[in-house]
Structure 1
Amino acid sequence: MVLKKCSICSRVFKKTEHYKRHERSHTKERPYECNICHKHFSRSDVLSRHAKGHNQANATAGPSEGPNRQLSVIAGAPSTVPGSENGFSSAEAQIPPLSSTSRDAPLASMELPSSLDYLADISAHHGRTEPDLGVMMDDQQQYFGWNAVTAADQVSHRADLPFGPGPKDMLQMWLEPRTDSGSNDSLDLIRDSHFPLMGGNLMIAPDRQNQHSVDGSDNIPNERFAKVQQCWLTPPNTGRLINSLWRDIAMSPVDNILSVQSSHFPRESNFVQGSRCGFDEDCRQRLQAAFGPTTVSGHMQSPINRNIAPDTPASSLNHSDFPPAEILDMALDLFFRIFNPLLPFVHQPTFSAKKARPSLLYVMTLVGMTLLGTKGTTAFVSRNFSGALDKVTAEFSRCSMGLESAFGTMTLFATVLLLLNLAGLTGEKVHLEQCQPLYINVMSVAQRHGLFSATEGQILDMTLFETVSDIELRWKAWSKVESTKRVIIGLLLLDSWYSSFLSTGPIAVPDSIQLILPCSESLFSAQSPAQWTHLIRNGKRILSSTILAPSENINVPALEAPADDFCIQVVLAIVQLRQSESYHRLLSNRASYPFAPCHTYAMDGRARCLPSLQSQLIINYGETLDRLNPNALITWHNMCMTLTADIQIFDLAAGRAGPAPARKALDDIREWSQTPAARRACLHAAHIYKVMTNRKASDHPTFQSMFSLFSAGLVLGLYTFMVSESASSPSSAGSVELMDDVDWREVGTEGFTSFMEPSGSQTLAPMDDSTVNFIRHGASIYLRGLPLHGGYQSARRIMLDYASLLKDSGKWNVKKFSYILYIMSDVLMDVE
């Protein structure tokens, strides 16, 4: 039991409340004040009984008096100045005031209590921190108000103590009741005389007290709902976007989903001569205000890039570091000429740089400056990438909380989509690492909003556009819907190549994917409502079909001829997602003999359809793949190659994880090189090189195509290096030129689903097709007329060829990939 000793008369008390009451008999202290009549009391229970007298008076008073009464709640701080209302004498005023809180009262004792004594004291005084809204409200409110001791009071009081801080002061700091949050928040609401929810009927007029407790909704004051809205912990629940996405987008008050709604755009502008999208000096100033040196330097030490040293010190940044309007307009033009055809979601006829969201416009210019590739633009992008990432991440957080409109959310999805592609475009490892959290966030939010489950939300049909009578407004409504569809497809493409590149499982769930295909590219590019209407009359459709993810029970969709490149790309991306998911689930970091993923997939119920899907793709889309941009054909070859070769092993063999794993991986590749799957993988690797070599200058490759070329160089080079001399020497099986045209329909699933054992175990008779014979039995191989013999010399020549092609292809900065191949061509001699 903790004994309390009076510091004045040295009497000892067992109960704290008796000790406090006795203490106030010495000091004549009356800390409890009635807020109605301002009388002071030394005990809270006396004040409580006194307040009930006021309450009874309110009950008998007229109706007009009730609302004017207030509860006697928080008491003021006791006065210690002579001549005050308490009437302290001069001698009494010299006695140090003893607060009624547990923090200071025991400090006056000459004997320091133990830590356990102090904990017991704290427990006795502060065991109840949240007041009940009941009959004891008055006492508890006075108690909390009296416990509020200012820091100045504590300092002055402790200065008079004869001893320094001890263990008790340490406990006081950690066990002091909260005064800025928690229970006091609720007290702040109760102190407000306009807050209607009180512990009794004190705030209700007498004529309302006799009414039934449940009245009509009209009788509930708006202030009550406003108070509840402020106190609600969770953010607003706006539901999934897909539930009303198409209607919200079509009826949005902007001409383009990438625009912002504003009524004060500048009317007179200094246009840059020949500007494609109306980029002018005002646009530059707007971007500089949002992303200029001052803003960017503030992001230098953000959590995202705190471990990364900036290329340029923040102190050296000045306004001249921001590019002039001419350079920014040139970058925007390059964006639309080179990058936009690869990811065509911007409706150019209605796009205006002056009306675009600043973050989106800024990322567009960064992409264009990277494509421009000059010393100044490259340095600017490298210096400002982290700041742009921080800014876009902060803006996108509003989507996660449901604070953006439908078209605003889609604009931010588009901004993130471009920024993540920019990370691959720069080719900087640190940029790709920084972007991984944003990639995970954006795909998770898109998945949560049902953007990849088109049939679960509002049905997109003609009724949406038929309600718009004006042709121009209908054209704009359709273009906004079409842009939204393409942004969603772009997110799926992003998940496809990011998961493949990072060797992780995709975030989108392949089995649940339902997508509305994009409409004709010519219809989307129509420059006016009249041209758009003309194309519709000539047979172009403003609605497209919805596809499901191909699987064992769902065939590859049949596309309307002529199919556009973007339609083919989305179907390939869905199959790629399924393949990435299967690899991550079954083979990631646990490769198994014969080191061909298709062998493992054949024994899994969800993945065994993958070889069949690749065969369906080339049968259904073979002619289209030859006609369109080579990126789609490279994607198909890469998927076939990764079905027959475990790329993870080749990365390790190249030295990704150091010497020991590299030597183990080379031994695995030696065993793999004897299988039919390995020989088919070499064919696809060679054809990736062939497609990249034969592409037109206007056919700009994607990042995934460049990465596929790098992987193909590893597969063919390491196969040639590790294959036995007997397998590559002339034999009765004949020879095969890897660059010759192949009828892949005839090849079918050869090397995918069977014959995984080393050569010599098959008993099948040779066929007329040399490619099929090579996959089954092996043969002497040639590359552009030169024989490939197993060993270093042939492997070195292959890797140098692939490295040179990587270095010279496209605008993607893949110098690190080509550098790896150059290194391998030099060090393979040491390995051999």
Structure 2
Amino acid sequence: MAPEFDLTQSLPSVQVPYDLLDFMNQSDYLIENVDILDFDLGLDNPPLFDTSDPRDVADPNAGETQESSNSRFEIFKRTPWFWNPSSNQSTFSEHVQMPLDENGVNVASSPHWPYSIELCIQDKLDQEARDRIFQLVTRTVGTKVSIPSFPSAHFLDILVKNGIAKKIETDAWIHPHTFCASKTRTELLIALVAAGCVCFGIMSVGKTGGMLQEITRVALNNLAESDNSVLRDLQYLQAYMIWLDVGIFCGYKRKMEIAESDLQPLCTALRKAGAFNVSFYTRITPNANDSDAVLEQKWREWVKQESYKRLVYHLFQHDIFVTFAMSRNPITSYSELSVPLPAARNIWLAESPSSWRAAHLATLRGPGPIHNSLKALLTKPDRISLLSGDADQTLSLSIFVAGIAALVWDHRKQVSITEDGTGEDDPKTHLWIQSRRQDLYQMLQNAQAINPSLPAVQALFVEFLMMNLHVSLEDVQRFAGKFGEDEAQRSHVSLERWSKQRQARTAIWHAGQTLRAARNVPPYQLRGFDSIATYYATLTIWTYGVLHCNSRKRQSLLSDTTATIAPDDDAFDNGGCSSMQMLDHPPPEIHLDGPSSQDTIAFVAYNRGRAVLRLLDHPLDPVGKSNDILDLRQVMAVGIQALEGNYPDSDKVEDLPPLILSLRKLMQDLGSLPSQL
């Protein structure tokens, strides 16, 4: 029987999203005469979709015609996946003026200031460093941007320290205690200011960070053109990495595409310098009888070498996140990273040479030098639980998971080739695919078992990978309309078959666990790939619900009048039980975003139970209201709530970061589709 799935007939009123990036703003235009550090998006290029709350607008299904639906769908088919450049767009064309003055900012209102009670950065940015920053900014923008005022050294110092502190919250690849503003490249200072703005928790300051990110990018390119030696300079490479971090998930298509494409030069520079190979590094350890001068020299050499390690692995993780977010192949390879794993956090964050020595000497290590690396861990995964005592256990596990993610990506590509070819009919190929999936799944489960209290962001990524092993996100996105109507119909065939298998139930279970982890991410930290992973998890559950709604509709049409006794009786609801059994023993609710139990195991294995998600009444609500995943609007509402809940002080929707706002709008429109397609 041909699948009953025709987007032009089934979706009469709502535009089917062509792709994730179509919901990003084209650019972050700044209008003239705005308040100090309080930039708003201009209205010259309005977004394709209204960003108002759906509760404030009328039913989108009212008064729409098939003709208008088809017309809008054709617009979507013509919409490119990537940013569509126009002749009037160029560097700084989006920025009319840059009145950077702290007088309009209440620093105390930032949820990230003071940045940390455990971190003390002794250095203070002085007036001379402030003047260097100002000079580079004016030289870079030329006459294209008006700068009527500029922040004081004190305010820039706050932003720089906030930028460093936010890096330390994740994988700590910028060393805080050897930072010296007077000896730091101006480009790196501006990059840190941009990072501090973006992570400040005040949207107006965050938009200023986007402007400074653009300045950093241009300044770094100009510097490399005038002096090629900077391509081997650590501070230059660190500044480059920071602007990539700021740009890639900023929520504006132009900046995101540039940041995605400009990752290659940084990879090339580090690879050509030899920083991907173990031979680039030497083992530096302090001795108890080292003089102060010798100890100081060792400490600074060690910090520089350790900074390279952390930069390389941060770059690799960044590359993997972009790979899954943008559906493109990775630029780096796990097989080339023989870089020793980063040192323990307490050694890395030692405040002085003497405290560094004390931390080193107090660490238990093996009898000989151990150079564990990502390549070594993937060769022998058991090594992850046998790391040297001076290795950063949490960060090493995060790097290991990123390496597994690269293997998962490879596996999904191999599966797609097999499904498109004749391999699906080959028992040996099918068995190999199943075996490889199970191996990777077991590796991820082992990683979870090593540290059951993984940071929420890392736990979210592990759950996302487990989900991705059991569902093709490319097919899910195609089903949602990424490649147009014809491709959506083709994907329906394979996904309908998938929806009846254990793979599908495994996928939606881990999708629910991804949402659960997203709720546990500390406030204001759900701002990068983790937010996109939350969207993908929600989309996976939504797809599963749509397919079962369609199945229920067909069964209802084919059933006789006696089937009306139990209209909800299908394989999804009762795991194949008869209607009388269902009435006597209602299926248990399976909370996909709750803890594992015997019921959840039975659901995944035998399709017993009714899958639900929790919609919280307020952020502190521990229970919430159960919603069947066949209620597609509520499925998307749960995903939206997971994103919005990470920003508790955002009183208005417009206060959310651009990326979160774009994802929110995308899920709203998907949730507004009819429950039966």
Q: TM-score, normalised by structure 2?
A: 0.66
The residue number in structure 1 matching 2:42 is none
The residue number in structure 1 matching 2:510 is 684
C-alpha RMSD over aligned residues: 3.5
User: How far apart are 1:297 and its partner, in Å?
Assistant: 4.2
User: How far apart are 1:364 and its partner, in Å?
Assistant: 1.0
1:116-131, aligned counterparts within 5 Å? none
User: How far apart are 1:616 and its partner, in Å?
Assistant: 2.7
Q: Contact 1:572–1:636 (CA<8 Å) still a contact in 2?
A: yes
User: How far apart are 1:824 and its partner, in Å?
Assistant: 0.7
Distance 1:555 1:375, change over 3 A: closer
The residue number in structure 2 matching 1:670 is 496
Unaligned runs of 5+ in 2: 1-119, 553-569, 578-586, 615-623, 648-655
User: How far apart are 1:445 and its partner, in Å?
Assistant: 3.2
Distance 1:374 1:386, change over 3 A: same
Q: How many residues align?
A: 500
In the alignment, is residue 566 of structure 1 matched against residue 410 of structure 2?
no
State which of 317, 331, 353 in structure 1 corresponds to 2:181.
Answer: 353
Q: Contact 2:286–2:295 (CA<8 Å) still a contact in 1?
A: no
The residue number in structure 2 matching 1:363 is 191
The residue number in structure 2 matching 1:782 is 612
In the alignment, is residue 415 of structure 1 matched against residue 415 of structure 2?
no
In structure 2, what is the Cα distance between the partners aligned to 1:588 and 1:356? Answer: 49
In the alignment, is residue 513 of structure 1 matched against residue 363 of structure 2?
no
Distance 1:528 1:510, change over 3 A: closer
In the alignment, is residue 800 of structure 1 matched against residue 637 of structure 2?
yes
In structure 2, what is the Cα distance between the partners aligned to 1:732 and 1:276? Answer: 66
User: How far apart are 1:275 and its partner, in Å?
Assistant: 8.0
User: How far apart are 1:823 and its partner, in Å?
Assistant: 1.1
In structure 2, what is the Cα distance between the partners aligned to 1:782 and 1:648? Answer: 24
In structure 1, what is the Cα distance between the partners aligned to 2:236 and 2:206? Answer: 24
1:303-452, aligned counterparts within 5 Å? 314=144, 317-320=146-149, 322-374=150-202, 376-396=204-224, 403-404=229-230, 406=232, 408=233, 410-452=234-276
User: How far apart are 1:664 and its partner, in Å?
Assistant: 3.6
Q: Structure 1 residues 324-333 or 360-369, which shifts more? A: 324-333
1:173-192, aligned counterparts within 5 Å? none
In the alignment, is residue 290 of structure 1 matched against residue 132 of structure 2?
no
Q: Which amino acid aligns with 2:181?
A: A
Q: Contact 1:504–1:584 (CA<8 Å) still a contact in 2?
A: no
State which of 429, 443, 447 in structure 2 corresponds to 1:616.
Answer: 443
Q: Which amino acid aligns with 2:409?
A: S
The residue number in structure 1 matching 2:283 is 461
Q: Which amino acid aligns with 2:637?
A: L
Q: Contact 1:728–1:789 (CA<8 Å) still a contact in 2?
A: no
In structure 2, what is the Cα distance between the partners aligned to 1:641 and 1:362? Answer: 39
In structure 2, what is the Cα distance between the partners aligned to 1:580 and 1:737? Answer: 28
In structure 2, what is the Cα distance between the partners aligned to 1:512 and 1:827? Answer: 46
User: How far apart are 1:687 and its partner, in Å?
Assistant: 0.6
In structure 1, what is the Cα distance between the partners aligned to 2:155 and 2:488? Answer: 46
In structure 1, what is the Cα distance between the partners aligned to 2:231 and 2:207? Answer: 35
Secondary structure of 1:426's aligned partner = coil
Q: Structure 1 residues 561-570 or 339-348, which shifts more? A: 561-570
In structure 2, what is the Cα distance between the partners aligned to 1:496 and 1:551? Answer: 17
State which of 398, 404, 421 in structure 2 corresponds to 1:575.
Answer: 404
In structure 2, what is the Cα distance between the partners aligned to 1:336 and 1:541? Answer: 30
Secondary structure of 2:612's aligned partner = strand
1:736-795 superposed Cα distances (whole Å, 9 cap, x missing partner): 33234238xxxxxxxxxxxxxxxxxxxxxxxxx44443223212223348666564xx12
In structure 1, what is the Cα distance between the partners aligned to 2:613 and 2:382? Answer: 33
User: How far apart are 1:328 and its partner, in Å?
Assistant: 2.1
The residue number in structure 1 matching 2:547 is 722
Distance 1:277 1:530, change over 3 A: same
In structure 2, what is the Cα distance between the partners aligned to 1:643 and 1:548? Answer: 21
1:479-521 superposed Cα distances (whole Å, 9 cap, x missing partner): 2221121111111111111122121111122333323111110
Q: Which amino acid aligns with 2:466?
A: C
In structure 1, what is the Cα distance between the partners aligned to 2:472 and 2:497? Answer: 13
The residue number in structure 2 matching 1:534 is 358
Unaligned runs of 5+ in 1: 1-273, 299-313, 744-768
Q: Which amino acid aligns with 1:558?
A: I
Q: Which amino acid aligns with 1:504?
A: R
Q: Which amino acid aligns with 1:337?
A: A
The residue number in structure 2 matching 1:481 is 305
In the alignment, is residue 817 of structure 1 matched against residue 663 of structure 2?
yes
In structure 1, what is the Cα distance between the partners aligned to 2:299 and 2:430? Answer: 47
Q: TM-score, normalised by structure 1?
A: 0.55
The residue number in structure 2 matching 1:706 is 531
Secondary structure of 2:525's aligned partner = coil
User: How far apart are 1:576 and its partner, in Å?
Assistant: 1.2
State which of 449, 472, 485 in structure 1 corresponds to 2:296.
Answer: 472
In structure 2, what is the Cα distance between the partners aligned to 1:689 and 1:553? Answer: 31
The residue number in structure 1 matching 2:349 is 525
Identity across matched positions, percent: 17
1:253-275 superposed Cα distances (whole Å, 9 cap, x missing partner): xxxxxxxxxxxxxxxxxxxxx98
Q: Contact 1:518–1:544 (CA<8 Å) still a contact in 2?
A: no
- Which structure is larger by alpha-carbon Rg, 1 or 2? 1
The residue number in structure 2 matching 1:140 is none
Q: Contact 1:630–1:692 (CA<8 Å) still a contact in 2?
A: yes
User: How far apart are 1:370 and its partner, in Å?
Assistant: 1.5
Secondary structure of 2:199's aligned partner = helix
In structure 1, what is the Cα distance between the partners aligned to 2:211 and 2:359? Answer: 45
Q: Structure 1 residues 810-819 or 484-493, which shifts more? A: 810-819
Distance 1:623 1:578, change over 3 A: closer
1:252-299 superposed Cα distances (whole Å, 9 cap, x missing partner): xxxxxxxxxxxxxxxxxxxxxx9863112222211111122x52246x
In structure 1, what is the Cα distance between the partners aligned to 2:404 and 2:431? Answer: 16
User: How far apart are 1:732 and its partner, in Å?
Assistant: 6.4
Q: Which amino acid aligns with 2:170?
A: L
Secondary structure of 1:341's aligned partner = helix
In the alignment, is residue 549 of structure 1 matched against residue 375 of structure 2?
yes
In structure 2, what is the Cα distance between the partners aligned to 1:397 and 1:550? Answer: 37
Q: Contact 1:278–1:354 (CA<8 Å) still a contact in 2?
A: no
In the alignment, is residue 654 of structure 1 matched against residue 476 of structure 2?
no
Q: Which amino acid aligns with 2:531?
A: M
The residue number in structure 2 matching 1:739 is 593
Q: Contact 1:654–1:662 (CA<8 Å) still a contact in 2?
A: yes
Q: Contact 1:641–1:685 (CA<8 Å) still a contact in 2?
A: yes
In structure 1, what is the Cα distance between the partners aligned to 2:512 and 2:421? Answer: 25
1:6-56 superposed Cα distances (whole Å, 9 cap, x missing partner): xxxxxxxxxxxxxxxxxxxxxxxxxxxxxxxxxxxxxxxxxxxxxxxxxxx
In the alignment, is residue 501 of structure 1 matched against residue 338 of structure 2?
no
Q: Contact 2:512–2:537 (CA<8 Å) still a contact in 1?
A: yes
User: How far apart are 1:582 and its partner, in Å?
Assistant: 4.0
User: How far apart are 1:383 and its partner, in Å?
Assistant: 3.8
Q: Which amino acid aligns with 2:131?
A: Q
Determine which structure has greater relative contact order: mean sequence separation of CA pairs < 8 Å that are 6+ residues apart, divided by chain length.
2
Secondary structure of 2:183's aligned partner = coil
1:628-673 superposed Cα distances (whole Å, 9 cap, x missing partner): 3111111111111111111112222223333443344344432221
Q: Which amino acid aligns with 1:613?
A: L
State which of 305, 310, 315 in structure 2 corresponds to 1:491.
Answer: 315
Distance 1:796 1:324, change over 3 A: same
Q: Contact 2:531–2:660 (CA<8 Å) still a contact in 1?
A: yes
